[in-house]
Chains A and B, each alone.
Chain A
Amino acid sequence: MHEARTESVRSRRTLVVALIVAVAAITATFAATASGTSTAKTISVAIVANGQMQDIASLTPALFTAKTGIKVKYTILDEGKLRQVTTRDVGSGGKAFDAVMIGPYEAPQFGAAGLLQDLTSMAKADKAYTYNDLIPAVRNALSANGKLYASPFYGESSFLMYRKDILAKNGVKLGLHPTWQQVAAAARKINTSSMAGICLRGKPGWGDLGAAFTTVLNTFGGTWWSAKSNGQPDKAQVDQPAFKQALGFYAKLVQDAGEKDAANSSFNECLTQYQANKVAMWYDATVAAGTLEAADSPVKGKNGYAFAPVYKTKSSGWLWSWALAIPRSSPDPTDAWTYIAWATGPQYIKAAGTHTKGGWAAIPPGTRFSTYRIPQYKAAAKAFAATTLAAMKAAPITNPGTSKRPGLPGVQYVGIPQFQDVGNRCTQLFSAVIAGSMDDTKAISQCQQIAAQAVK
């Protein structure tokens, strides 16, 4: 009896020791991995793999770290991946990033949910940053309840870029405000086997194909969801005639006169093809114009610019900005702001003009009035600067289509959290329609199911 008890005491003691060892082992693992990130004066930043961001990443050591002593560790990802990573990190209170690049879809939503630092007071207090210099349309799009949650790195609308020489050779004329029917006819007319008529995004992702397509959908009179009077999403509208008409128009145009391997092409792929003389027109972000007219661009000076094509609405261009925000869980918000104030401040814009290969035309545009007063920029961006500013001003952010939209304002997206997933999954289907491996009736009925399920 007595022996049995000591036996059980001993085994209990072994169990306790074992538990302590196990817990210690786990905490040691975490401690070991965590200590790597807590080195002083290094901040981690996640950004999109577009040209202007690649530029700032390569200029940071010389222009920022040398002056402030703050090292910046960049994680450069394509748009879709960046969204997954930032949403995950911001939502779970992870400490992977001190600053993340997001846009007008995310900033007000995450901000309202209390997941981002309010930048307003820091931005207003910082003299060099000059808060009032920010273009109001962009600033408002990145704010919620009057609080600024992300500082714009560049701002953009969407418009049509085309090769003046190719259009002239084919006797095609486009006005400053074309309709989609005119653009489609032009694209089909100038399309050849070596040079496609138009580049339109076909890569899955709400911010890729989803953005370009939704502006077409809006102006065709369609919508993803109808809205209740309180702004909540009501019913999925994907199976409505206007949606089907818009998708049919878009897919047919890409199949008839679009770029090669359209289902894999988005902003960067279209940019490559346009600069390589593989496409004659391109409907995409206005920021692309800076790269097309850059000092080192092979198509410099050959391009014309027109407002986003329309059908049933007056204007259809989107409004977007890649902007830097500080997650609530950032380990080092003070240094993060120092970095953001530099990266999105007027000084960097000027520095980019002299330090990058692209020169003045390729600086981050569309965020500040002062940019449009720089004499060198005015000269280099003569072809597109005025159209860009006018397009951003005309972006129908509060009333993008022919009916009321649910959620927060937005043109090329629906300002509700469910849109990210619905947009991503539906554009996978639409991309398959563009590739010709799925018919549009099937894609529409499956997408309707996804959209309906999401707001149930």
Chain B
Amino acid sequence: MLPALLYVVAITQLPFLVSIYYSLTNLKDKTQSLIPEPTKFVGFDNYKQIFSDSFFRQAMWTSVKMTVLAVVLSLIIGTVFAILLDRKFLGQGLVRTLLITPFLLMPVVAALIWKQQMFSSLFGVLNKVLTFVGFSSVAFISDHPLASIVTVLVWQWTPFMMLIMLAGLQSQPTDILEAANVDGASSVGVFRQLTLPHLRPYLELGALLGSIYIVQAFDAIDVMTGGGPGSTNVPYYVYQESIGGGFRYGSASAYAIVVVVFSIIIATFALRVLSSLFKDEERA
């Protein structure tokens, strides 16, 4: 146990401590000065700069919009798919596998497929259809960067949400549903008054796990837009500030640490929901 623990500490916590140290310096890449400059200790300057940096605020706002849109949309679509799958029909296994496939693709591949085969104004399927129907073609990614990225994220994360909601639906006791049926409840009524309350913790879980993953979205942004107004989220901004072109490791470390603090806050909420879910299970 102890070697494992030390290994984990060595590869996760030591770099974090080093990052904290870097965040208090003006460390930058050697290529960023014509004459080698010594690295100076700058105290909390990097942190002060974060709160006056309008681009960071912009990136935060993009992160919020991107995450909320992607999570909500994939939850809604995922729930619909789960309800449709939660019954016996011919070819159910095949349909389920096909629906899960987007989640199994590498994010970079998914983004590339969408960029080149769907959105592209030269070769894209969407524009082929648009021009066939008589509309003029749309430069999806350049004109609507955020919407394009959210589309890909939703496409990838819908299966994940669907699986969680399917588990929720299948854990619903059938005797209650039968009783409601016997009492003559309409199917909409059953869904609103019985199924939805039952699914609530699963929705919460899906939303929180989804948020934790989607807030870190990077691949789709890098492949499709390479950043820019409307598509640079917080992880991408930190990347641009550090190894993605800025090469200012000191201030990038400060940004990263602020992000870690935010992530811990969100993760704490997620863990609380998770544990309450398990407690409910135990009670039931």
Contact = CB atoms under 8 A, between A and B. Distances in A.
Interface string A77-120: 00010011001101111000000000000100110111100000
Contacts of B34: 109, 112-113, 408, 416-417
Contacts of A340: none
A429 B7 contact: no
A18 interface: yes
Interface in A58-92: 80, 83-84, 87-88, 90-92
B2 A91 contact: no
Contact of B3 (A21, A113, A420, A431): A21
B10 interface: yes
B54 A260 contact: no
Interface stretch (A149-157, A286-294, A381-389, A434-442): A434-442
Interface in B6-39: 6-7, 10-11, 29-36
Contacts of B54: 446, 449
Interface string B228-263: 111010000000100111110000000000000000
Contacts of B10: 22-23, 26
Interface string A21-34: 11101100000000
Given A113-B34, A264-B139, A431-B142, A26 B11 contact: yes
Interface string A397-438: 000000000001000000011101100110011011011111
A77 to B, nearest CB: 13
Contacts of B139: 260-264, 435
Contact of A420 (B142, B143, B144, B245): B245
B201 interface: no
Contact of B7 (A22, A87, A264): A22
Contact of A91 (B32, B226, B228, B240): B32
Given A84-B244, A204-B226, A435-B143, A14 B2 contact: yes
A65 to B, nearest CB: 30
Given A87-B247, A261-B139, A25 B7 contact: yes
A26 B7 contact: yes
B7 A438 contact: no
B31 A91 contact: yes
A379 interface: no
Interface of A is mostly: helix
B31 A87 contact: yes
B6 A22 contact: yes
B226 A22 contact: no
Contacts of B229: 428-429, 432, 437-438
A15 interface: yes
B31 A90 contact: yes
B30 A92 contact: yes
B31 A113 contact: yes
Contacts of A23: 10
A429 B122 contact: no
A71 to B, nearest CB: 27
Contacts of B7: 21-22, 25-26
A429 B32 CA distance: 23
A19 interface: yes
A273 B123 CA distance: 12
A424 B245 contact: yes
A263 B231 CA distance: 14
Interface size on A, as a range, is: 35 or more
A303 B107 CA distance: 42
A437 B143 CA distance: 6
B228 A204 contact: yes
Contacts of A114: 36
Nearest to A433: B229
B151 interface: no
A91 B141 contact: no
Task: With a 10 A CB-CB cut-off, give which of A91, A109, A438, A449 has the most chain B CB atoms.
Answer: A91
Given A109-B34, A432-B228, A18 B3 contact: yes
A91 B245 contact: no
A204 B227 contact: yes
A115 B30 contact: yes
A187 B143 CA distance: 23
Contacts of B228: 204, 428-429, 431-432
Interface string B201-232: 00000000000000000000000001111101
Interface in B135-179: 137, 139, 141-145
A143 B116 CA distance: 39
A93 to B, nearest CB: 8
A239 B144 CA distance: 27
Contacts of A428: 226-229, 232
A23 B3 CA distance: 9
B195 interface: no
Nearest to B9: A22
A205 B228 CA distance: 10
Nearest to B53: A453
Contact of B121 (A202, A260, A431, A446): A260
Contacts of B6: 18-19, 21-22
A210 B9 CA distance: 44
Contacts of B230: 432, 437
B33 A80 contact: no
Given A21-B3, A437-B230, A260 B244 contact: no
- Closest 6 pairs (CB-CB, A-B): A263-B142, A428-B228, A91-B31, A261-B139, A261-B121, A435-B142
Given A264-B139, A417-B31, 6 more contacts: A88-B29, A106-B31, A109-B34, A263-B143, A408-B34, A446-B55
Interface of A: 14-15, 17-19, 21-23, 25-26, 80, 83-84, 87-88, 90-93, 106, 109-110, 112-115, 202, 204-205, 260-264, 272-273, 408, 416-418, 420-421, 424-425, 428-429, 431-432, 434-438, 446, 449-450
5 contacts: A17-B3, A26-B7, A202-B142, A204-B226, A263-B143
